[in-house]
Every structure is written in structure tokens, then in C-alpha cells.
Chains A and B, each alone.
Chain A
Amino acid sequence: GESVGLHLPTLSVQEGDNSIINCAYSNSASDYFIWYKQESGKGPQFIIDIRSNMDKRQGQRVTVLLNKTVKHLSLQIAATQPGDSAVYFCAQVTTDSWGKLQFGAGTQVVVTP
């Protein structure tokens, strides 16, 4: 399934399927992007990051894609598991901004059996 936009939509995914979470960012000066996962009642947890000189980065079951031309970022989760149910945030930062993260609104991912 896919989700687009910065509002807090809900993405319902069947266990075992791939998930795609999209994020449109606004600051073209941003040169570093991070995806965070926030489970219910917990703080945001780092998943994966990417710098603006890259267009793809892979981690364990996750891939982040960056399209600077259209200012778009996506997070792909392979073989989605129940433990992937959470709110996912993209965040952008400019290197000289002293770590001032700008967060997107988040996407709620619900994994169904």
C-alpha cells in the first residue's frame, strides 16, 4: 500500500506485504533526512537516514529513496510485520542549523494479520 502527504493518514498493510510511506518536504536547503518510528507510548526511534548526495539507502528490511527534484522522500518496509505497526515520521535538517529537525506530520501504519 501507499500513503502520500504530510497529514496523518493511516496506512493499512497486510502482514507480509511491502509498505511504502511517502513524505513531501518543503525546505530545499535540507541536506540530511531521517525516518523515525514511534510506537504507542514511546519516543521516536531512529530507523534510517540519507544525505542529499544520495538517492537511495538500504537497511535491514527498510529502504529510503530521495528525489530532490520533486522534494520527495519515501520509506519502503519489506515483508511488513506486526511489530512495524507505529507512526512513522520523516524529518529534515540543514547541516548548519545545529540539529534543528523539522518533522513531517507522520503516517500511522497498521499491520493486519
Chain B
Amino acid sequence: DTAVSQTPKYLVTQMGNDKSIKCEQNLGHDTMYWYKQDSKKFLKIMFSYNNKELIINETVPNRFSPKSPDKAHLNLHINSLELGDSAVYFCASSQAGKETQYFGPGTRLLVL
């Protein structure tokens, strides 16, 4: 019954690898987001999709590519992983016109 779910919860990988994180929401929302939380707990938005259309694209390296196959899913693919990509990545969703966002449990990415 989880509202916003992410897989995997933990991801440990080597520098230079390519990895994907998946997000699904069952709240019926039409807007989904990716946030990055650094080691100091600072949360910053990366991307936002509304009805499968990219609407927010912050200054993020183009190694990060979001993909939304449908309104309930927003995946994040990362190419050529770097040490600085180590962080916790959160997916969130909301209904357009309502600003309250609901967050997933996070994916802890460690790049070695």
C-alpha cells in the first residue's frame, strides 16, 4: 500500500558504471519529481514531469536522464557514475495545482 515507492533502496557501484533508479506512485498524481539529498541533508530538486512531459530541469549533468513511461512512473538513469553522485535520491509526486509533494523512501547511492 506504499504511496510512493523506489527501487532499489541501496545501490553500491563502481565509478564509470551506468545505473537506473525506479519510482512508482499509486496516488493517482500527475506530477513526479526527483530530488538529490547530499551528505549535509540538503535537498535539491533535479527534475519534474507532468503527464509524462518534462517541466523542470535544473542544472544537472546530462549524465542524468529521467524517463517517464506513464504518469505513475518516473525513472532516473545515470551514465558514467562519478564519486560525487553518491547521495540519497528521492522521488516525489503531487497533483498539479496542489503543491504538497509526497516523498518516497529514498535510494542510497554509493559510488566507489
- Give the contact-size bracket for chain A: 20 to 34
Interface residue? B90 (CB, 8 A): yes
Contact of A101 with B101 in the complex, beta carbons under 8 Å: yes
Instruction: For the complex, give the distance between the alpha carbons of A101 and B90 in Å.
Output: 13
- Other-chain contact of A49, B44, B90, B100, B104 (Cβ < 8 Å): B100
Interface residue? A25 (CB, 8 A): no
Contact of A99 with B41 in the complex, beta carbons under 8 Å: no
- Other-chain contact of A34, B56, B99, B106 (Cβ < 8 Å): B99
Contact of B41 with A46 in the complex, beta carbons under 8 Å: no
Interface residue? A109 (CB, 8 A): no
Contact with B along A15-28 (1 / 0, CB 8 A): 00000000000000
Contact of A100 with B44 in the complex, beta carbons under 8 Å: no
Q: A98-B55, A98-B56, A100-B48 are in contact. Are A8 and B103 (CB under 8 A)?
A: no
From B33, B43, B55, residue with most partner A Cβ within 10 Å: B43
From A42, A98, A99, residue with most partner B Cβ within 10 Å: A99
Contact of A103 with B42 in the complex, beta carbons under 8 Å: yes
Interface set, chain B 57-112, CB cutoff 8 A to A = 90, 92, 94, 96, 99-106
Contact of B105 with A42 in the complex, beta carbons under 8 Å: yes
Contact of B40 with A100 in the complex, beta carbons under 8 Å: no
Interface set, chain A 58-107, CB cutoff 8 A to B = 87, 89, 93, 95, 98-101, 103, 105-106
Contacts of B96 in A (CB 8 A): 98-99
From B4, B40, B44, B99, residue with most partner A Cβ within 10 Å: B99
Q: Looking across the interface, which residue of chain B has its beta carbon closest to that of A108?
A: B41
Contact of B105 with A46 in the complex, beta carbons under 8 Å: no
Instruction: For the complex, give the distance between the alpha carbons of A8 and B42 in Å.
Output: 9
Contact of A43 with B99 in the complex, beta carbons under 8 Å: no
* List of 3 A-B pairs having minimum Cβ-Cβ separation, nearest first: A43-B103, A103-B43, A44-B103
Chain A residues with a Cβ under 8 A of chain B: 8, 32, 34, 36, 38, 41-46, 49, 87, 89, 93, 95, 98-101, 103, 105-106
